[in-house]
């Protein structure tokens, strides 16, 4: 039963992932160039100079991988962290291969992994990784929702490395494979690098979601899912005609927590408003009422940032566009926030969903996680 439940939950996440990724792609900096795959090295030449490597680091079947590497590269032995030792904060190295030395430099192939404890698109996880480390990104291909290929430059021990990488989520693991070449490597090193990363793949797909999802029933008439790192705050305002549920994600940083309490804000706040159509037929009026609730947080919606069409999940529902707004702070001076709103409609009812989140440029990681949670709540609304 547990495996079946995981599969159902995983299917939900994958179903919502495309709309989440679509929402975020509308906002992500479009100045990042498309990744180039041009090379003079033919596939046949590449295969003749390489060997296939298949391994299962730490005995973890969901880290098992395959890749083709140059024949003269050797693996650097060392203790690989066990899967249960993977950090949720830092990427831990589980595999390292090195080329023969070229004077005092070597090319490297490494695999790093970390444990995921939140919903986020693979693309936004990777972009946060680039931003956090201050790398210079040269190109990116995020056409696959669960995999990102990219090229960027890093500096290690006063040496500039050109890196070709692939980031891939597998269950609750994020895996990053990097092929790094320093200047002056012999032959068509860049061609070998491009082909090698394209041959990388994980052997087994983990059916578990990156984080457990909770199902929240609205009495016995409707329900939706939300990530377990959010806290549901039901109110007494519950009836078959209307219901409100708030979801909060409060910072564990004492300084931010104090600021949030003073401003009546959180690292993320989602509100859901369920209405029966017979009792509350005027959706536009309810949307206005919901926006007015922002004043309780010393906020008002400002300029509209964008409007995003949502993908239809079921012909029994209407999935109205997501709208995002700047937020004007009416009292005090705090960080920048955004306000998101959408609603899902059935023949007999509708649920409005709102999000207050730190702005993308204020805290990219929190913004990305919040948009993912918001999309999940809105898209998973169903009548029972």
Short-list 355, 253, 231, CA closest to 297: 355
User: pLDDT, tens digit, for every residue of 145-165?
Assistant: 889 999 999 998 888 999 999
| CA 45 to chain CA centroid, nearest Å | 37
Residue 26 has pLDDT above 60, yes or no: no
What pLDDT is attached to residue 262? 46
Short-list 33, 37, 32, 60, CA closest to 196: 37
What pLDDT is attached to residue 341? 95
User: pLDDT, tens digit, for every residue of 311-350?
Assistant: 888 899 999 999 999 988 877 656 789 999 999 999 999 9
Between 244 and 257, the higher pLDDT residue? 244
Task: Write phi, then psi, for 315 (nearest 5 degrees).
Answer: -70, -10
Q: Give dist(CA 320, CA 322) in Å, integer.
A: 7
Residue 29 has pLDDT above 60, yes or no: no
Residue 301 has pLDDT above 60, yes or no: yes
Task: Kindly calculate the radius of gyration of the chain based on its CA atoms and give it in whole angstroms.
Answer: 24
Q: Which residues of the chain form CATH 3.40.1000.10?
A: 32-202
What pLDDT is attached to residue 169? 93
**Considering the chain, what percentage of its residues have pLDDT values greater than 90?**
57
Residue 286 has pLDDT above 80, yes or no: yes
Residue 207 has pLDDT above 90, yes or no: no
Sign of the torsion angle spanned by Cα atoms 279, 282, 283, 285: negative
Short-list 238, 241, 243, CA closest to 279: 241
310 C-beta neighbours (distance < 10 Å), count: 18
Place 252 in a pLDDT band, splitting at 50, 70 and 90: low
Mean pLDDT of the chain: 85
Place 139 in a pLDDT band, splitting at 50, 70 and 90: very high
Place 223 in a pLDDT band, splitting at 50, 70 and 90: very high
**Considering the chain, what percentage of its residues have pLDDT values greater than 70?**
83
Residue 261 has pLDDT above 70, yes or no: no
Q: What is the pTM of this model?
A: 0.83
Residue 10 has pLDDT above 90, yes or no: no
Q: Which CATH architecture has domain 213-383?
A: Sandwich (2.60)
Cα distances (Å, whole numbers) of residue 287 to 169, 197, 280, 292, 340: 36, 48, 11, 9, 12
What pLDDT is attached to residue 2? 44
Q: Give dist(CA 189, CA 69) in Å, integer.
A: 11
Q: Strand 147-156 and strand 213-218: pairing? A: unpaired
Residue 55 has pLDDT above 50, yes or no: yes
What's the average model confidence in pLDDT over 99-103?
89
Residue 24 has pLDDT above 60, yes or no: no
Q: Which residues of the chain form CATH 2.60.120.1690?
A: 213-383
Cα distances (Å, whole numbers) of residue 278 to 177, 275, 349, 350, 378: 55, 9, 8, 11, 21
| CA 134 to chain CA centroid, nearest Å | 19
Secondary structure class of 25 (helix, strand, coil): helix
Q: Where are the alpha helices (DSSP H) in 235-348?
A: 254-263, 283-292
Token pair for 234: 């039901």
Between 50 and 249, the higher pLDDT residue? 50
What pLDDT is attached to residue 44? 97
What pLDDT is attached to residue 296? 81
What pLDDT is attached to residue 208? 80
Q: Give dist(CA 130, CA 125) in Å, integer.
A: 9
Cα distances (Å, whole numbers) of residue 136 to 139, 155, 295: 9, 10, 41
Residue 278 has pLDDT above 80, yes or no: yes
Task: Write phi, then psi, for 225 (nearest 5 degrees).
Answer: -105, 150
Number of residues assigned to the chain:
384
Q: Give dist(CA 383, CA 141) in Å, integer.
A: 38
To which CATH superfamily is domain 32-202 assigned? Mog1/PsbP, alpha/beta/alpha sandwich (3.40.1000.10)
């Amino acid at each position: 039963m547990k495996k079946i439940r995981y599969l159902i939950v995983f299917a939900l996440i994958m179903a919502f992932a495309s709309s989440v990724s679509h929402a975020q792609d509308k906002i992500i900096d479009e100045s990042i160039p498309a990744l180039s795959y041009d090379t003079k090295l033919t596939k046949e030449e590449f295969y003749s100079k390489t060997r296939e490597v298949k391994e299962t680091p730490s005995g973890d079947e969901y880290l098992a991988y395959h890749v083709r590497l140059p024949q003269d590269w050797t693996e650097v032995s060392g203790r690989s962290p066990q899967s249960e030792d993977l950090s949720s904060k830092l990427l831990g190295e589980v595999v390292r291969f090195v080329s023969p030395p070229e004077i005092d430099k070597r090319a490297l192939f490494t695999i790093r992994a970390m444990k995921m404890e939140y919903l986020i698109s693979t693309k936004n996880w990777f972009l946060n990784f680039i931003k956090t480390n201050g790398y210079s990104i040269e190109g990116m291909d995020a056409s696959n929702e669960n995999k990102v290929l990219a090229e960027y430059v890093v500096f290690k021990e006063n040496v500039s490395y050109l890196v070709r990488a692939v980031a891939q989520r597998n269950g609750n693991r994020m895996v990053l494979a990097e092929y790094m070449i320093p200047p002056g490597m012999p032959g068509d090193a860049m061609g070998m690098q491009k082909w090698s990363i394209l041959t990388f793949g994980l052997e087994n797909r983990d059916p578990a979601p990156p984080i457990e999802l909770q199902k929240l029933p609205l009495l016995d008439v409707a329900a939706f899912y939300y990530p377990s790192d959010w806290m549901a705050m039901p109110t007494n305002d519950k009836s078959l005609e209307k219901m409100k549920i708030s979801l909060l994600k409060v910072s564990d940083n004492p300084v931010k927590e104090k600021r949030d309490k003073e401003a009546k804000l959180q690292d993320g706040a989602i509100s859901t408003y369920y209405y029966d159509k017979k009792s509350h037929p005027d959706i536009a009026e309810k949307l206005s009422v919901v926006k007015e609730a922002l004043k309780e947080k010393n906020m008002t919606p400002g300029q509209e940032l964008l409007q995003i069409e949502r993908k239809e999940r079921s012909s029994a529902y209407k999935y109205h566009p997501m709208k995002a707004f700047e937020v004007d702070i009416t009292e005090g001076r705090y960080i920048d926030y955004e306000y998101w709103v959408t609603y899902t409609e059935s023949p007999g009812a509708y649920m409005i969903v709102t999000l207050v989140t730190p702005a993308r440029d204020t805290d990219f990681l929190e913004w990305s996680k919040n948009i993912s949670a918001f999309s999940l709540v809105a898209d998973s609304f169903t009548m029972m």
